[in-house]
A and B are shown apart, each in its own frame.
Chain A
Amino acid sequence: MIAEAGLIALWLAAALAFLQFALCTIGLTKGQDQFFAAVRPVAIAQGVLVTVSFLLLVWLFIRSDMSVQLVVSNSVSMKPLIYKISGTWGNHEGSMLLWVAILGVAGAAIGVFERTLKLRTLVTTLAAQAFISIGFYAYLLIASNPFERSFPVPEDGQGLNPLLQDIGLALHPPTLYIGYVGLSIAFSFAVGAMINRDVGPDFAKAMRPWVLGAWVFLTLGITAGSYWAYYELGWGGWWFWDPVENASLMPWLAATALLHSVTVLATRDGLRAWTLMLAVVAFSMSMIGTFLVRSGVLTSVHAFAVDPERGSFILALLAIYIGGAMALFALRVGTVKEGSQFEPISREGSLVANNLLLSAILGIVFIGTLYPLVVEGFTGEMISVGAPYFNLATGPVALILVAIMAAGPLLRWRRDKAKALLNRISIPVFLTAAALFALVLFTTTMSVLSLLGLSLAAGIAVASFAPLWKRNLRRTPMHTYGMILAHFGVAVALVGMASESSFTEEKLVAATPGDEVTVNDWKVKLHAIEPMAGPNWTALEARVTAQYANGTNYEITPQNRMFPAAQTQTSEAALLTRWNGQLYVVLGDSDEQGRWQLRIWWKPFVTMIWLGGVLIALGGLLAMVGRLRRAVRQRKQREYAEEWI
């Protein structure tokens, strides 16, 4: 019954999305303003129903209801509860239902919280949100029903991919999806503003917290995903430029650009058309990412061609939504006034540079990700585009971008002088030069990109705090602190990336118990290999001690896990975190002579990569909360003033 209830809730939510769309469009076109009163409640009801549908699916997974096909193919009754729950979105149908649920909740959130947008723009926004929802409801109900029953009911399920049985997977996809789909709000806002010709500072101020919110989740999701890949896949890498990773990076790049251009629109009423464009592009990238990951097109163009129903469905949705929004943009861009003007050397000028460079990086990642697919589709030739291409093509652009990031907040709005800027930024520039000089002198292993990255990080770390110079710290607004924290986070992450790629030490050994290996400042000793048993796995566990140069001893236990239900093996790396880096030990197979493969890395300051990511997200959160508090305060002041007048 639960499965049927879930399906009914999903159908009802889809019907409400239709109703929401109809109420909005009829109200708008026929001038029936009384319809608008119903729009908010319908949007909220739709959000509740689709959430109920998703929760019912979670319940089916918790109960291990093997009469449901999706549970059979992705779960097994012998599994910890947390992985039963996370198994709900560890598969195609479940993750699409989560996607749609977040879309519905986003629409409901607009209905509940949005108080500053003009009524007609708000109604159009909710119409756009409903229109997007309708397409994805149709996709779920027609092409990927998560509640399908299985006959006959099997004894037990086939289990979840062991790699995905990890706390990282429990948290990473929902976080990322909230970010992905949260961008739909910016998309709908842009559509609403374009149709009603309501593009200006007030609109930008209303949109900004939503963009910030989505961006924070996206940042956290990508950071978590990177760390999950780092420790769970057991190869010590944190970014592979894999198409799936790129699919999450592209919306982030667009959202980052949007977040900065929306500030120009809110503060200076400039970059109107550009902000609209970025809002459309950001969510388009989310949808393209979903298409890439969900259609199977990434495994091979041919895999997509063999089972094209789902892929073609999403592709059609993409064409409708992206094409429609772009067409609307093309129609309206002529009527969107340019907005206020500024000189090249000004805060706006630096934000334009930020936008253009982020867009260039986005373009490179987009082309690099899709190019192999296009080549294979047209010529049948298989090529690979990976880290060498992406690092070379995006690295230099990213370095220019972060250099501008350090200078931008120190520039005045509208117009400034280059000389004055140089004056303000002299200390960071000196620090960067000094760091570069020292690194060239004392290191030998660094690539040009890491060398420049690390030197720039030194300057940026200081420059990010420069906006506080000679300011009253208590009266500095919260969103300024948010910006400072986020920019500082970029410097921190940059240090981690440059250090990891330049100073990592690797040792591969075949060891018998009693052997000792020296890696950098560590003495790593293998003591024994012992069998272990977990709830749904068995493992071989290595007892290893690691002694740091100062004499401290640590015990670590890398494992090799066997999952009988899935007949697969995963290696659980042992990570030892110190303030100055991580020791990373992986247990491999044994050879004929009873020696065990050990892969040992010392990765100096690698944790700063994710620490930086978290700081960036925190900065975004601070900015969002600061903006919202200020908006509430201003509204109260206005109401108070109106009462007295």
Chain B
Amino acid sequence: MKHLMVLFALLTAAPLVAQSALPASPYAHQQLADPNKEAEARALMDELRCLKCQSQSIADSNAPMAGDMRSQVRERIAAGETPEEVRSWLIERYGDWVSYNPQVNALTWPLWAAPLILLILAVWLARGRFRRRKDK
């Protein structure tokens, strides 16, 4: 029965299948024809977390879900969305967890402020050392 259904699906989907091998998510393993758009998609995929894996981006994962997400990213970019629009859409769907580039918000501003504070601290420490020398 299952085989019949697959056969039926294949027959009816024949025109689509002719174009792409993987009907569910055609762009999971297929690049966009436009190299600029592919580069945009690729850069975004590197920054999206594979939700089923441990510490992998969807660009690097063999998990089926990562493939689906890659396909969605490529399709949306091909349709003219900007990478940031696609990212926001994914965050809306899966939460902040999905993006390796944390949004600046009430929860994450200390994270983004930390590098600046550390650098200011470093400069201040250095200046303190040297100024004391000159006073002497």
Residues of A near any B CB (own CB < 8 A): 233-237, 240, 242-244, 299, 341-344, 349, 352-353, 356-357, 359-360, 363-364, 367-368, 371, 375, 379, 381-389, 393-394, 397, 445, 506-508, 510, 571, 588, 591-593, 595, 597
**5 sampled A-B residue pairs with Cβ under 8 A:** A349-B130, A356-B122, A364-B115, A386-B49, A508-B29
Interface flags, B68-109, vs A, CB<8A=1, else 0: 000000000000000000000000000111111110000110
Q: Contacts of A385 on B, CB cut-off 8 Å?
A: 100, 102, 111
Residue of B at shortest CB range from A447? B43
Q: Contacts of B55 on A, CB cut-off 8 Å?
A: 240, 242-244
Residue of B at shortest CB range from A356? B122
Query: Which of A299, A342, A379, A386 has its CB near the most chain B CB atoms (within 10 A)?
Result: A386
Q: Is the interface of A mostly helix, strand, loop or mixed?
A: mixed
Docked Cα-Cα span, A282 to B111, in Å, equals 23
Residue of A at shortest CB range from B98? A384
A233-B60, A383-B102 are known contacts. Are A360 and B118 too (CB-CB below 8 A)? yes
Q: Is the interface of B mostly helix, strand, loop or mixed?
A: helix
Docked Cα-Cα span, A360 to B115, in Å, equals 7
Interface pair A508/B31, CB less than 8 Å apart: yes
Q: Contacts of A510 on B, CB cut-off 8 Å?
A: 21, 29-30
Give, as a whole number of angstroms, the nearest-CB distance from A297 to chain B. Answer: 13
Which listed residue, A386, A571, A597, touches B47 by the CB 8 Å rule? A386
Query: Which of B10, B102, B133 has its CB near the most chain A CB atoms (within 10 A)?
Result: B102
Q: Contacts of B59 on A, CB cut-off 8 Å?
A: 235
Docked Cα-Cα span, A39 to B62, in Å, equals 55
Interface pair A384/B126, CB less than 8 Å apart: no
In the A-B complex, the 10 residue pairs with the smallest Cβ-Cβ separation, listed nearest first, are: A386-B100, A235-B60, A591-B21, A388-B101, A356-B122, A382-B97, A393-B115, A242-B55, A344-B130, A363-B118
Q: Contacts of A508 on B, CB cut-off 8 Å?
A: 29-31
Give, as a whole number of angstroms, the nearest-CB distance from B21 to chain A. Answer: 4
B119 part of interface (Cβ distance < 8 Å)? yes
Residue of B at shortest CB range from A397? B119
Q: Contacts of B30 on A, CB cut-off 8 Å?
A: 508, 510
Residue of B at shortest CB range from A599? B29
Interface pair A506/B42, CB less than 8 Å apart: yes
Q: Contacts of A591 on B, CB cut-off 8 Å?
A: 21-22
B129 part of interface (Cβ distance < 8 Å)? yes
Give, as a whole number of angstroms, the nearest-CB distance from A303 to chain B. Answer: 11
Q: Contacts of A364 on B, CB cut-off 8 Å?
A: 114-115, 118
- Which range contains the number of B residues in contact with the other chain? 35 or more
Residue of A at shortest CB range from B95? A382
Docked Cα-Cα span, A356 to B123, in Å, equals 8
Q: Contacts of A384 on B, CB cut-off 8 Å?
A: 49, 96-100, 102
Residue of B at shortest CB range from A504? B42
B1 part of interface (Cβ distance < 8 Å)? no
Q: Contacts of B122 on A, CB cut-off 8 Å?
A: 356-357, 359-360
Known: A349-B130, A360-B121, A593-B21. 16 other contacts (CB 8 A): A235-B61, A244-B55, A343-B133, A344-B130, A360-B119, A363-B114, A364-B115, A382-B95, A384-B97, A388-B47, A388-B100, A389-B111, A394-B115, A397-B115, A595-B21, A597-B29
Which listed residue, B21, B39, B99, B115, touches A592 by the CB 8 Å rule? B21
Which listed residue, A236, A240, A242, A383, touches B108 by the CB 8 Å rule? A383
A367-B111, A375-B107 are known contacts. Are A382 and B119 too (CB-CB below 8 A)? no
Q: Contacts of B56 on A, CB cut-off 8 Å?
A: 235, 240
Give, as a whole number of angstroms, the nearest-CB distance from B55 to chain A. Answer: 4
Query: Which of B17, B42, B46, B55 has its CB near the most chain A CB atoms (within 10 A)?
Result: B55
B54 part of interface (Cβ distance < 8 Å)? yes
Docked Cα-Cα span, A158 to B56, in Å, equals 25
Q: Contacts of B102 on A, CB cut-off 8 Å?
A: 383-385, 389
Give, as a whole number of angstroms, the nearest-CB distance from B80 to chain A. Answer: 22
B125 part of interface (Cβ distance < 8 Å)? yes
Interface pair A389/B100, CB less than 8 Å apart: yes
Give, as a whole number of angstroms, the nearest-CB distance from A355 to chain B. Answer: 9
Docked Cα-Cα span, A386 to B97, in Å, equals 11
